[in-house]
Structure 1
Amino acid sequence: MTHEENKSKFPGLWCRAMALPSLADLNANLVSGWASQMGLKVLEVSERDVGLFRLTPAVVLNSDQGVAYFPKIPATGNPQWMANKARLDYVAGLWEKVEWFAPLWVPQGKVNELLKAIEHRPKEDSLRQFEYHTSTIYTLPFQAVCVAQLIPRSRTLSVFAPLAREAYLAFYTGHRASSIAALIPVMEGAVSRISSESSELPVLQQVDKIIDRACMLAARLHFGDVWIPSEYRDKDYLYVQDERVFAFQTFRRWLKKSFFRHTGEYDGITWLNRHLFAHGASVDWQRSSNFSRLVVALTTLGVIESWHDESNQVSLFFPEMNDDGRLLWEQSLLHGQVQMLIKLAEQKNYRDHGQLVPKMPTDNGVLLRKAALAQECINDLVRPLRNAGWSVEVGEPNDEALYVKVVASCGEEQLRVVLLYSCATDNKLYRELAQEADAILYVGSPLSQHQFAHGVEVHVGPVAGWQPPVPRSKVR
C-alpha cells in the first residue's frame, strides 16, 4: 500500500469521528482502534490542545504515514468558539468605527487603552480619541522605521520607497496635503502589483485573493505540517483562533469598506478613500492624521505581501531602529526646524502687510499664531507688567489666535490688557474688546492704526513701545 493510499485514510478516520453523537466523545482509544483496523501503523495517540494562540482540543495520531489532528470540537457552532467570535466581532466593529484595523506592532496594553477610549463614544469623538492615542504610537521615529527599513524590503513596495521617503520629509516640512496625495495611489498600485497574475480583476477581488493567500499560510503555520480537516484551516475558523488571521481579516475589511469603498457608498468620517480622492468628490481626505494612516497601512500591506508570496521580507516583528531609520528621522527633524524658520519669516512678512498667512489645506495657521502670540505676550507684556509690580494672569488665545487677554492685579487694583496678533484687526473686534479692556496692544508695527482702531477710546498701541503703569499702592 502506498504512502498516499495510507495517508488518504485520515479523511476516512475523520468521517467515522463525525458519525459520533458528539465530537466530544472522540478519544485516543477510538482513533487508535480505527487506525489499526484501516491498516495504519500507530506509533502514538494522545489527546492535547493543538495550534497557536487559541488552541483546539484534538486527538493526535502519530502513525508511520504522518501526523493527523482530529479536533474534539466542531469547526462551527461550538459554544466557546461562538462566544469568542462574538467578542472579536465586537472588537472588529470598534476598529471599523474609526476606520482602521487590528494593528500590528502595537503592544496589547496600548491597544486595550485605545479601544476602551473609543468604545462608548459616537464616531466623531471616537475618531478624536483614536487620533490622540495613535499620535503617541505612530510617532515620527515609528514612521521613519516603516519608511526606511520596512517598505524598502517589500518586493512590491520597494519601487515606491523613494516616493514614500520624499512624502515623509515633505509632510514634516509642511507640505502635508501633497504628501497624502502622493501616497493614496500607491495603495492601489501596490495591490495590483502584488496580485500581478490577477491584475485584470476589479481591485476588491484582487484584495480578496491577496488576503486569502496570506490567510492560507497563516493556517499552515497555525497547525504545522500535519493533516487536519480542511474546515479547521479555513479563514473563518481561524479568524477566532489565530491573531494573525484576525489582523489580516480586519485589514481586508478596512480596504473594502473604507479605502476602496465606492464614492456613493462611503459613509466614513476620515475621508481616506481612493475614489473620493481620485474623483475630487471631497477635499476632506487632506486631514493631517491620514498621513500616518497611509504610512502604517502601506507597511501592513508589505506584511500581507510577505505572507501572500511566503517571502517573509516584512516581518510581523517590528525592528529596532537602525542607521537608515535614525538618519531619516533626524533628516525630518532638520527639515522641520528649517521649515519653522521659514514659517516665522512668512508670518512676519504677512503681518507687516496687515494680513494673516493664507490657510493651507492641512494648516490654517492657528497653531503657529498661538505660539507666536504666547511668546510675544510673555516677552513684551507679562515681563514688563511683573517688573512694574503687577501679578499677572494670562488667558488662552481665542480660537483663531487673534488675541489673548491678560489681567494684572495688585491688591484691589486691576489692569485689563488685550494683546492682538496684529494691528490690522477688524474694527468690530477692537470695539468689542474695548468694552472689557483698559488697553489694547498689538504685535508688530502700527500699520494704519487710526483706521483699524477708529472710535476706540481705550489706549491702543504696539506692545513693544508700551510702558505699563506702576500700581498705585506702590507709588510713593
Structure 2
Amino acid sequence: MKDELGIWTEMTGEESRSKFPGLWRRAMALPSLNDLQADLVSGWAHQMEIKVLDVSERSVGIFRPTPAVVLQSDEGIACFPKVAATGDPQWVAHKVHLDRIASLWEKVEWFAPLWVPQGKVNELLQAIEHRSKEDALRLFEYHTSTIYTLPFQAVCIAQFLPQSRSLSVFAPIAREAYLAFYSGHRASSIAALIPVMEGAVSRISSEAAGQPVLEQVDKIIDRACMLAARSHFGDMWVPSEYREKDYLYVQDERVFVFQTFRRWLENSFFRRTGEYDGLTWLNRHLFAHGASMDWQKPSNFSRLVVAIATLGVIESWHDESNQVPLIFPGMDEDGRLLWQQAMLQAQAQMAVKQIEQQNYRQHGRLVPAMPTDDGVLLRKAVLQQECIDDLVRPLRNAGWSVEIGEPDDRSLYVKVAASSGPQKLRIALLYSCATDNELYRELAQEVDAILYRGSPYHQHQFAYGISVHVGPVTGWQPPIPQR
C-alpha cells in the first residue's frame, strides 16, 4: 500500500488484498524471470478477473532502467521485472563498478557529488585511483579547488540554504562564515559550520529528535531513498525488493549519491573519536572534544559548504519539499552580490596582510603563523616579485643572463644564478635582513652575495661571521661582466 506521501510500502493492508502480488508470485514460479512475457501476464490477469487495459514489455525506470512487463488495469498499473532483484549478472557487474567508485570517494573522505559535470568527476577519480591516500587527498583538493569555487559556494549559501525548510535558519551564519573565511578568519569560519551539520540533521529529522545522530541520519536518508524509488518507477506497483535502496543503489544515481553521503557521515564526519582514521580531520567529535586541531585545514571549509547544501537536497527528497534542486542553477542576484562581497573582503584582506608584513618586517620579524595561514604564500609572492624588480632586472640591464630558482619551503630566500660567458655570479635574496645567522652561514657557502629586502635591521646581529657581501638589494650595484 501507499503511505501518507503516496509511496508504495511493504505489502500490507490494501496491497495484500490487491491481485498484483498474486501475479508476481506466479512470475517468480517461472524457471527464469526472463521467461515472463506480456501475453503470459495478460492471461494470468484474465484468469484472476482483472480487467486488462494494456500490457506491454518495456524498460521501466530512469538512469538505468529495468526490463519489465507493465500491466495497466482497472486496479492500477503494475510493473513485473524480467530480471531478479539480486544475482542478475549485469546488475552485479554494475554494482562492482559502483562499489569501486564509492570506495574511491571514501578514500578521499567524500561522497558522490551533485552539481559536478561527469567529465570533471571522471578526471578526479582517474587522478586518485592508483595513488596513496595522502596523494589522493592532495589531488582531490587540487581538483575540487577548481570546482567548489567562490561563486559555487555563493550559490550554495545564498540560493540553496534560504529555500530549505530546515536549513534556512542557518543561512545567516553560513553567510557570515563565508565572508569571514575570505577575510582571513578561516579557522573560525570552519568552526562555525561544523555544528551546523549536526543541527541540520536534527532539524530535518524533527520526529526523531533526541535519538542518536546516526539513527537520525539513517531515517532521513532512508526516507529520501523511498521517495527516489517512487520517482524511479513512477506511480505504479512494483515488487518491494525492487524498491529497496540496495537494488536502487545500482539503478538510480540519486540513491547512489544519498548512500555515499550516508557513508561519509557515518565513516568520517560523525565517526567516533577513537575510530576515526582519516586525514582531513573533518570530524564532529574531534572538533567538539578538542582531540585534534587539524580540522582547521582550509579545504574543509568548501567541504562543509557543499555538504550542508547536499543535506538540503536530501531534505527535499525526505519531505518532498523540492526546494533545493538536483541541477545546479545559474547565479542569481543574491548569489552574485554575496560573491562580490566576498571578493571585496578578500581584496581588503590582501591589503591588510601586506601592511602587517611591512609592520613586522620593520621590527625584524615575520608575521606569526595562524592555524590556516602560515604566511608562506604571501611571502613567496612578495619575494618573487621583488626579486624580479630589484635583482633580476638590474642584472640583465648590466649584461648578465639570469636564472631564478624557487623560494625555499618557508619562502625565506630565493637564489639567482647569473652568467655571462664563462663568468658566474650566484646571489641569494632574503625575505628579511632579520634572518637567523645559521641561514646566513649556510648561504654564504653557496653564493657570492647575500642581499635582503628592505632596509638594514641590526644587520650586525644577524649576519656576523659572513665573508661574502651582505646588504639591501636596493643598494647593491651589479658588477659589469668582463668582455
The TM-score bracket by the shorter chain reads over 0.9
Q: Tell me which of 339, 353, 356 is aligned to 1:343.
A: 353
Q: Tell me which of 258, 262, 268 is aligned to 1:252.
A: 262
Match of 1:204 in 2: 214
Give the drift of 1:378.
1.1
Provide the rounded CA distance (Å) in 1 between the counterparts of 2:393 and 2:462.
Answer: 27
- Is 2:105 the counterpart of 1:69? no
SS at match of 2:72: strand
Provide the rounded CA distance (Å) in 2 between the counterparts of 1:336 and 1:428.
Answer: 36
Provide the rounded CA distance (Å) in 2 between the counterparts of 1:454 and 1:423.
Answer: 12
Match of 1:234 in 2: 244
Match of 2:40 in 1: 30
Give the drift of 1:81.
0.8
- Is 2:390 the counterpart of 1:391? no
Match of 2:204 in 1: 194
Give the drift of 1:428.
1.1
- Is 2:402 the counterpart of 1:402? no
Match of 2:459 in 1: 449
Query: Aligned AA for 1:438?
Result: D
Provide the rounded CA distance (Å) in 2 between the counterparts of 1:315 and 1:263.
Answer: 34
Query: Aligned AA for 1:396?
Result: E
Provide the rounded CA distance (Å) in 1 between the counterparts of 2:446 and 2:249.
Answer: 63
Query: Aligned AA for 1:137?
Result: I
Q: Check conservation: 1:48, 1:58, Cα contact below 8 A.
A: yes
Match of 1:102 in 2: 112
Match of 2:8 in 1: none
Provide the rounded CA distance (Å) in 2 between the counterparts of 1:88 and 1:382.
Answer: 54
Give the drift of 1:6.
11
Give the drift of 1:365.
0.8
Give the drift of 1:45.
1.1
Provide the rounded CA distance (Å) in 1 between the counterparts of 2:137 and 2:98.
Answer: 20
Q: Check conservation: 1:6, 1:40, Cα contact below 8 A.
A: no
Q: Tell me which of 112, 130, 141 is aligned to 1:120.
A: 130
Q: Tell me which of 75, 82, 91 is aligned to 1:81.
A: 91
Give the drift of 1:181.
0.4
Counterparts of residues 216-365 of structure 1 (less than 5 Å):
216-365=226-375
Provide the rounded CA distance (Å) in 2 between the counterparts of 1:17 and 1:176.
Answer: 60
Is the alpha carbon distance of 1:5 and 1:128 closer, same or farther for their aligned partners in structure 2, counting shifts above 3 Å? closer
Query: Aligned AA for 2:441?
Result: R
TM-score by length of 2: 0.96
Provide the rounded CA distance (Å) in 1 between the counterparts of 2:240 and 2:443.
Answer: 75
User: Over residues 360-414 of structure 1, what are the superposed CA-to-partner deviations in whole Å (9 max), with x where a residue is unaligned?
Assistant: 0011111011011111111111111112121111111011101000111111111
Give the drift of 1:30.
1.2
User: Over residues 52-71 of structure 1, what are the superposed CA-to-partner deviations in whole Å (9 max), with x where a residue is unaligned?
Assistant: 11111111111122111111
Provide the rounded CA distance (Å) in 2 between the counterparts of 1:20 and 1:468.
Answer: 93
Query: Aligned AA for 2:89?
Result: P
Give the drift of 1:25.
1.2
Provide the rounded CA distance (Å) in 2 between the counterparts of 1:243 and 1:7.
Answer: 33
Match of 2:421 in 1: 411
Q: Check conservation: 1:7, 1:65, Cα contact below 8 A.
A: no
Give the drift of 1:21.
1.4
Match of 1:424 in 2: 434
- Is 2:459 the counterpart of 1:434? no
Provide the rounded CA distance (Å) in 1 between the counterparts of 2:205 and 2:94.
Answer: 32
- Is 2:144 the counterpart of 1:134? yes
Give the drift of 1:7.
7.1
- Is 2:192 the counterpart of 1:182? yes
Match of 1:51 in 2: 61
- Is 2:471 the counterpart of 1:466? no
Unaligned runs of 5+ in 2: 1-13
Q: Check conservation: 1:6, 1:65, Cα contact below 8 A.
A: no
Match of 1:154 in 2: 164
Provide the rounded CA distance (Å) in 2 between the counterparts of 1:43 and 1:306.
Answer: 35
Q: Check conservation: 1:62, 1:68, Cα contact below 8 A.
A: yes
Give the drift of 1:5.
8.6
Query: Aligned AA for 1:133?
Result: H
Query: Aligned AA for 2:332?
Result: N
Provide the rounded CA distance (Å) in 1 between the counterparts of 2:313 and 2:16.
Answer: 38
CA-atom RMSD in angstroms: 1.2
- Is 2:49 the counterpart of 1:39? yes
Give the drift of 1:78.
1.1
Unaligned runs of 5+ in 1: none
Give the drift of 1:92.
0.4
User: Over residues 239-271 of structure 1, what are the superposed CA-to-partner deviations in whole Å (9 max), with x where a residue is unaligned?
Assistant: 000000000000000001100000001011110
Provide the rounded CA distance (Å) in 2 between the counterparts of 1:85 and 1:6.
Answer: 31
Overall identity of the aligned pairs, in %: 78
Provide the rounded CA distance (Å) in 2 between the counterparts of 1:98 and 1:212.
Answer: 24
Query: Aligned AA for 1:160?
Result: F
Provide the rounded CA distance (Å) in 2 between the counterparts of 1:184 and 1:5.
Answer: 44
Provide the rounded CA distance (Å) in 2 between the counterparts of 1:307 and 1:5.
Answer: 24
Provide the rounded CA distance (Å) in 1 between the counterparts of 2:97 and 2:15.
Answer: 42
SS at match of 1:294: helix
Provide the rounded CA distance (Å) in 2 between the counterparts of 1:338 and 1:305.
Answer: 37
Match of 2:4 in 1: none
User: Over residues 180-206 of structure 1, what are the superposed CA-to-partner deviations in whole Å (9 max), with x where a residue is unaligned?
Assistant: 000000000000010011011100000
Provide the rounded CA distance (Å) in 1 between the counterparts of 2:87 and 2:35.
Answer: 16
Q: How many residues align?
A: 471
TM-score by length of 1: 0.97
User: Over residues 408-466 of structure 1, what are the superposed CA-to-partner deviations in whole Å (9 max), with x where a residue is unaligned?
Assistant: 11111111111000011111111111112111100112111111110101110011111
Q: Tell me which of 9, 22, 38 is aligned to 1:12.
A: 22
